[in-house]
Structure 1
């Protein structure tokens, strides 16, 4: 076996329209129609698949790497009234210095945004 990358991640959501809006507006991700008829958000050659549920019992956690400055990211998140739960804080990711901020999407799925030095 020779796995090299993640193709997609599935995120449980209770309000598909609100989640599509959140990921499109906050992260500027294009919304796409997936082969199975569901909606997703494109992230380069990867994608996020949204699964509609009545209640998100177990929110997921995942991370994005961003190329902007943390000051700009922090201001952008505040301007969009995003729920910031931690940071910005300095971290060591994969033995490299980084700055991270952790936010929640509308269904309390946790997203860590990291900028590497």
Structure 2
């Protein structure tokens, strides 16, 4: 029935700060859609951003997100990049289980304390 995830939504305190963080740290593309809403596009996916209360159907809180993003970089290169960008790693590298196999991951927080995991599949 389900083939893949198209997008996820993060509730953030400041959309511009979040856009700047994800563009700077990940090289994602900031885009606008649907009457000026903001999102981050990467590959065939996107992360929509909303502020608290912007979407009345959603009861998420700021900083309640937990994302795992897969990279084609080596984990060593990811760590070096995060250090260069002043992003504090809160855990890792550690072994975890991804959707289609074993992964190695590092964890850190975005400006709203959403937990971000960047991972590489172990071949």
Do they fold alike, i.e. is TM over 0.5? yes
In the superposition, relative to structure 1, how do residues 26 and 68 fare at CA in structure 2: closer, same or farther (>3 Å)?
Answer: same
In the superposition, relative to structure 1, how do residues 75 and 64 fare at CA in structure 2: closer, same or farther (>3 Å)?
Answer: same
Classify the secondary structure of the residue corresponding to 1:23: helix
For residues 2-41 of structure 1, the aligned pairs below 5 Å read: 2-41=1-40
Structure 2 Cα separation of the partners of residues 10 and 94 of structure 1: 19
TM-score using structure 1 length: 0.88
Which residue number in structure 1 is paired with residue 119 of structure 2? 114
On the 8 A contact 2:52/2:62 being kept in 1, the answer is no
Correspondent of 2:94 among 86, 89, 108:
89
CA-to-aligned-CA distance 1:9-29 (integer Å, 9 cap, x gap): 110111111100000010000
Structure 2 Cα separation of the partners of residues 58 and 105 of structure 1: 8
Number of equivalences:
115
Classify the secondary structure of the residue corresponding to 1:115: strand
Identify unmatched segments of 5+ residues in structure 2. 54-60
Which residue number in structure 1 is paired with residue 58 of structure 2? none
RMSD after superposition: 1.8
For residues 64-75 of structure 1, the aligned pairs below 5 Å read: 64-75=69-80
On the 8 A contact 2:62/2:112 being kept in 1, the answer is no
Structure 1 Cα separation of the partners of residues 105 and 82 of structure 2: 13
TM-score using structure 2 length: 0.84
